[in-house]
Copies of this chain bind each other. A is one copy, B any other.
């Protein structure tokens, strides 16, 4: 079959049209006759070597597909030959820039009936990304405010629609006229031209200084780094890129991790739901009285010896707690 393969990691000159063997479906696979594929930023990232340790050369890129099922493995359920399906092929197998592709049947679905293969093929990766980010990771809720960076992009313009379907207020960053128009057309409430104005300042203005509930970052780098400043206390950020500066954060991305910051003083500092802390302490007191929770005090000081207590705490080798007797 015909395919475009990447013969090496590098620029677009590594892409080569050639004849390759037909892929053979595994037990859970569909063999799909590809009608249309789509391009995503991940294509050029992998081409440049982003998953170098997981990619075998030569490789076929293409992580969106719409086409027709023509064969399948013996454990596949719910599909038959001739079904028109759309799917995002695995990043670590050969993709859809070819006449045929094998995909895990469980990750595929029948394509929307009212659109053609080309339109259907433009959807899977961006839709899965936006859906998982807004509906699963951050659990965006009705009447919350979400800021979507790069609303006019592949993921962004799907995200606008999903956020509006949920009943959220949608703020967008975009700069080109074409993008701005697209975002407004898909229902964005406010488009912030980040080239002409400071998006942090504008988001704070638009939310009475509170910040938005959710930031969906499809850009990364400086945009990621500046996003915490425009999220509300207790808010959520979801990024599909991550900060460039820390390898720990890159690890978090590849493993799809959620990182929580626990700042127990937030309710009292910002006066947000302070009664929750009274409730927790009430529950904890019951556990103590039931013999289910205990605290370990390794040393106690009178108030006049507070400095000594601080010095001990500063060793960072305190077992359990240090108490201060006031009376």
Contacts and interface: CB of A to CB of B under 8 A. Distances in A.
A173 interface: no
Most buried by B among A61, A86, A251: A251
A166 to B, nearest CB: 12
Nearest to A282: B109
Contact of A255 (B90, B228, B288, B323): B228
A264 B129 contact: yes
Tell which of A182, A311, A318 has the most Cβ of chain B within 10 Å.
A318
A132 interface: yes
Nearest to A273: B106
The A interface, classified by DSSP as helix, strand, loop or mixed, is mixed
A228 B131 CA distance: 24
A233 B262 contact: no
A286 B131 CA distance: 14
Interface string A97-124: 1110000111111111111001101111
Given A43-B313, A106-B277, A268-B92, A36 B132 contact: no
Contacts of A286: 112
A303 B97 contact: yes
Contact of A248 (B40, B224, B275, B320): B224
In the complex, which range does the number of interface residues on chain A fall in? 35 or more
Given A289-B112, A310-B39, A229 B256 contact: no
A327 interface: yes
A168 interface: no
B152 A319 contact: yes
B161 A39 contact: no
Contacts of A71: none
A179 interface: yes
A267 B131 CA distance: 14
Nearest to A253: B261
A17 interface: yes
Nearest to A250: B228
A311 B106 CA distance: 32
Given A228-B255, A245-B245, A97 B238 contact: no
Given A262-B129, A281-B109, A313 B255 contact: no
Nearest to A133: B262
Nearest to A183: B319
A82 interface: no
B262 A132 contact: yes
A227 B255 CA distance: 12
A323 B4 CA distance: 15
Contacts of A206: none
Most B-side CB within 10 Å, residue of A41, A109, A115, A251: A109
Given A17-B303, A36-B323, A161-B292, A153 B258 contact: no
